Chain A
Amino acid sequence: MKKSIWKSNAVQSLLASLICIVLGLLIGYIVLLFINPAGAGKAIIAVIKNFMNYSRANLQLKNLGATLVKTAPLLMCALSVLFAYKVGLFNIGAAGQYTVGICASLYAALAWHWGWLACLLFAVAVSALWGTIPGLLKAYCNVNEVISGIMLNWIGLYTTNMILTNVKESTSPYTFHIANENPSAILPTLGLEKLFAGNTKVTVAVPLAIVLAIVISVILNKTRFGYELKATGGNKNAAKYAGMAEKRNIILTLAIAGALAGMGAALFYLTDYEQWQCTASSVPGMGFNGIAATFLGGLNPIGTIFSSYFIQHITTGGAYVDKTMYCSQISDLISSIIIYLCGFVLFLKFAMNSSIARREEKLAAAEKAANEQKGGDK
């Protein structure tokens, strides 16, 4: 019997993600209707259209570039969450690791005037160290990584504010522009700006993030190291029994997750797209949106590339809603609804599989009955 394509895991994941997206947008639309029925349809379309809200082609390209610039860090945060999740760890601390990554890259660029590569590597190192803290606590003290991660998010935020105050403009709470202080710290564009109507913020960061997603996919699926990590996630005690260093694996995983998030921070802030606000009262949403992208991407590094783009697409699109009626946070609302719905994915897959099984059973029964009838006629 031919294997139904609906049975394939990839198709089911894709279908489940699409259902989550459609339902998320639908609920977002209903919320808009409640706020003000007059402009709800227009607003949700503005969110979905994002850069296509512009009619001129080069403005569209420029704004597509802007969305891509922000997709790179989001993808890195999503990879950070994903990598840890494959090892059975929920890295909600990605937001904090991202924040200390910002701190390290901006301080190296603005205070020490390092080149971009040095700044990038410094951010990766600092965030990896930050990630080892919940790793050590988990491995040796059995502290739940979600709670320690949240605590470290806040500690990281306050530390970042404190340190970056040294390199901020005297009249505003924002840090200096890298372009004015130290142009050598800005990521090279490699001529990519020509593709996006001269948007010089589109740098090596975008292709680099995509390459890293592929690298993560290879590490997890094709190497012994990745296999050991996944085995540790599956059953810590069994991994230990099989001779794997389960404590080392947990610490290493969170260090790598931290490194990925920190790299995302450097890849974004070293474009000088945005400055850090030293009075920030909460960690950037990037790390949390990364969670949304991870689960929407069906827990697959390649799928995450697309889901990261989608999440960033609607987040940026939120800026285009009619501000006299709605606020841009409507996109945050939609992405959080999507994460909530992702919790139901397992159930959805189960429902799909059992409905397929039922149909096959019916078919088989009908075939059998038909055969018997033929037999009877003879």
Chain B
Amino acid sequence: MLLLVQYTLIFASVLMLVALGGCFSEHSGVINLGLEGIMVIGALGGALMMRYAPAGLSSFAMIALVVLCAVGFGVIYSSLLAVASINFKADQTIVGTALNMLGTAAATVIVKAINTAANPDDVSSTIQYVNQKKAFIVNIGSFQFNWFMVIAVIALIVAYVTLYKTRFGLRLMACGEHPQAAASVGINVLKMRWAGVLISGIFGGLGGICYILAGVSEWKFENGVAGFGFLALAVMIFGQWKPQRIALAALLFGLFRALSNVYTGFNFLVALNIPSTVYNMMPYIVSLIVLAFTSGSSRAPKAEGIPYDKSTR
């Protein structure tokens, strides 16, 4: 039971972080379908930091460095989306999809190059971080507490305050609702949208490193992040683009994702004799059902997905 809570919380943290990223991007008016790719690149940044971090680093320094690196990679990578969709008015769906494919391909090529350079016989795309991972984890009895749970809660509070209580957040949302109106009162729409996308890069990168630290101590980059970026988008839609609701939605989705890891610990679930594949499918099926019921009445930012054009009204 404790294990289920532990996995639910960590997966919910991942989903919430990434969904908050999507939330900022969409409120500024840019659909960020590239979150999956941003997660992969963020995870790559963090994993590389762990690989090259000097031994004997204090856990605080380790966490700070890894987080910083993941965020940095995420932000740089998200600028590819920003430049294409904001300055060049590219189709956001195509660019987002390209970023997803590019993220996995680039991470695979980079990790394989590093592994092969270190050892010519090693052609895997795996990075191991068994020892480094310990910095992130505090054992409380049999419960493995992960510092990312705290980071996720802080991120939630920061996101809520930024969006609703600051001038910046309110202006950002105006750019996603009616950019021309926002521009007419002197807001720089392009700048605001850049800010929205880069913030989604911060959160996406954080979510990525959090995801690969969730249950395992090595990551094979060929696998990407298994559709988690898109699950996060489902969480965001279910959460109606509001941080507090996103948090609740993330907990629900996290629970279903956690079940596939730990269902063998529950006698009544094992007794049902359902193949493990069904549990693997569960998060995706649940999200489809949830989307079917919530998308009809959804209240998305009005101008999302439409490139800003000064000359239209």
Contacts and interface: CB of A to CB of B under 8 A. Distances in A.
Nearest to B275: A162
Contact of B108 (A147, A292, A329, A347): A329
A262 to B, nearest CB: 20
A175 to B, nearest CB: 16
Given A162-B275, A343-B84, A343-B90, A324 B101 contact: no
A137 interface: yes
A326 interface: yes
A137 B292 contact: yes
B109 A146 contact: no
Nearest to B280: A158
Interface in B246-289: 275, 277-278, 280-281, 284-285, 287-288
Interface stretch (B10-18, B92-100, B199-207): B92-100
Contacts of B275: 162
Task: Tell me if A's interface is mostly helix, strand, loop or mixed.
Answer: helix
Given A332-B101, A332-B104, A343-B88, 19 more contacts: A90-B93, A90-B97, A92-B97, A142-B296, A143-B291, A144-B295, A147-B230, A159-B281, A162-B277, A326-B113, A327-B108, A332-B105, A332-B108, A335-B101, A336-B98, A339-B94, A343-B85, A343-B91, A343-B98
B234 interface: yes
A161 interface: yes
Contacts of B287: 147, 151
A329 B101 contact: no
B102 interface: yes
Contacts of B99: 340
Interface string A336-365: 110110111011000000000000000000
B51 interface: no
Q: Report, as a range, how many residues of chain A touch the other chain.
A: 35 or more
Contacts of A335: 101
B94 A342 contact: yes
A56 interface: no
Interface stretch (B147-155, B158-166, B210-218, B219-227): B219-227
A200 interface: no
Contacts of B104: 332
Contacts of A152: 284, 288
Contacts of B88: 343-344, 347
A327 B90 contact: no
B80 A143 contact: no
Interface in A143-166: 143-144, 146-148, 150-155, 158-159, 161-162
B59 interface: no
Contacts of A340: 80, 84, 95, 98-99, 102
Interface string A207-225: 0000000000000000000
A339 B109 CA distance: 18
Interface string B175-194: 00000000000000000000
Contacts of B39: none
Contact of B90 (A142, A151, A281, A344): A344
Contact of B94 (A144, A158, A343, A347): A343
Interface in B115-139: 116-117, 120, 123, 125
Contact of B123 (A36, A155, A323, A330): A323
| B interface residue count range (under 10 / 10 to 19 / 20 to 34 / 35 or more) | 35 or more
Nearest to B231: A151
- Residue among B98, B104, B222 with max Cβ neighbours from chain A (10 Å): B98
A225 to B, nearest CB: 25
A143 B223 contact: no
Nearest to A324: B120
A122 interface: no
A35 B115 CA distance: 11
B84 A333 contact: no
A116 interface: no
A370 interface: no
Nearest to A161: B277
A346 B116 contact: no
A146 B291 contact: no
Contact of A288 (B101, B277, B293): B101
A158 B98 contact: no
A129 interface: no
A282 B224 contact: yes
Nearest to B102: A336
A277 to B, nearest CB: 13
B292 A329 contact: no
28 contacts: A35-B109, A35-B113, A90-B93, A137-B288, A141-B291, A141-B295, A143-B291, A144-B291, A146-B93, A146-B97, A148-B288, A151-B287, A152-B284, A153-B227, A158-B277, A159-B281, A288-B97, A292-B101, A327-B108, A329-B105, A329-B109, A336-B101, A336-B102, A336-B105, A337-B98, A340-B102, A343-B85, A346-B89
A114 interface: no
A77 B91 CA distance: 20
A147 B90 contact: no
A245 interface: no
B50 interface: no
B296 A327 contact: no
A332 B93 CA distance: 19
A147 B237 contact: yes
A291 interface: yes
A163 to B, nearest CB: 10
B295 A143 contact: yes
A344 B113 CA distance: 29
Contacts of A154: 226-227, 281, 284
A268 interface: no
Contacts of A288: 97, 101
B293 A158 contact: no
